[in-house]
A and B are shown apart, each in its own frame.
Chain A
Amino acid sequence: AQTVTQSQPEMSVQEAETVTLSCTYDTSESDYYLFWYKQPPSRQMILVIRQEAYKQQNATENRFSVNFQKAAKSFSLKISDSQLGDAAMYFCAYKGSGNNRKLIWGLGTSLAVNP
């Protein structure tokens, strides 16, 4: 069975600085998708960035980028120029490419942004 591990329950960063959130996963599949979601106190789960495993190029969305290491089964999220609005829970999630469409989630990392 696939698993997702986020080893950092809490992180903090100074405004305008850069922070990296870690995520590792375990799977025997070769084709799959990885996601980072952000959950602010409003509870709304918001997609931050996604990565297809077959793509070697790391995904980037504005200030958010990932470091996808397929062999190491690592999928870290880098937030550059951190803003106060980035404070939230961040969840890493895995989805296989077969008929099983469910997302498998890590336990999350709580990110605080200090002014």
Chain B
Amino acid sequence: GAGVSQSPSNKVTEKGKDVELRCDPISGHTALYWYRQSLGQGLEFLIYFQGNSAPDKSGLPSDRFSAERTGGSVSTLTIQRTQQEDSAVYLCASSPSKRGGTETQYFGPGTRLLVL
């Protein structure tokens, strides 16, 4: 079956512009995660959606970052007024989130964002 897809694959933008990154999770997966992978650093949790529950936004680094998930499926991560330090690979993952299961997260190929 189809895996997690993300678009665009690469995005180059100018400082101060807004960007939108899209994630299409595996069909039927109720949980969706966004992570950021900066050069030389590990993966950093950004936000987590689970079904119709309020998202866990505890990892968002500033109020310039926001995300939404429409209809429990596709998610969009928006970065407003981009800064050079926002340059990173943004990874999306989904999981079936079964109770009692290992809840393995399956990742998309990521979006590489470069802010000039």
Interface residues of A (CB under 8 A from B): 4, 33, 35, 37, 42-47, 50, 52, 91, 93, 95, 100-108
Cβ-neighbour of A33 out of B33, B59, B91, B103 (below 8 A): B103
Interface 0/1 of B84-116, CB less than 8 Å to A: 000001010101010000111111111010000
Residues of B29-50 whose CB lies within 8 A of A: 31, 33, 35, 41-43, 45, 48, 50
Residues of B within 8 A of A42 (CB): 109
Would A108 and B42 count as touching, CB distance under 8 A? yes
Would B112 and A43 count as touching, CB distance under 8 A? yes
The secondary structure that dominates the B interface is strand
- Residue B18 CB within 8 A of the other chain: no
User: Smallest CB–CB gap between A38 and chain B, Å?
Assistant: 11
- The CA of A46 and the CA of B91, in the complex, are separated in Å by 12
The secondary structure that dominates the A interface is strand
- Residue B56 CB within 8 A of the other chain: yes
Q: Looking at chain B, what size class is its interface with the partner chain?
A: 20 to 34
Would B102 and A102 count as touching, CB distance under 8 A? no
Known: A43-B109, A44-B109. A107 touches B41 (CB 8 A): yes
User: Smallest CB–CB gap between A55 and chain B, Å?
Assistant: 10
**Shortest beta-carbon contacts, A-B, top 6:** A45-B107, A102-B45, A105-B43, A105-B42, A107-B42, A43-B110
Cβ-neighbour of B56 out of A44, A52, A95, A102 (below 8 A): A102
Q: Which of B33, B41, B43, B112 has the most CB of A within 10 A?
A: B43
Would B112 and A91 count as touching, CB distance under 8 A? no
Would B104 and A102 count as touching, CB distance under 8 A? no
- The CA of A52 and the CA of B59, in the complex, are separated in Å by 25
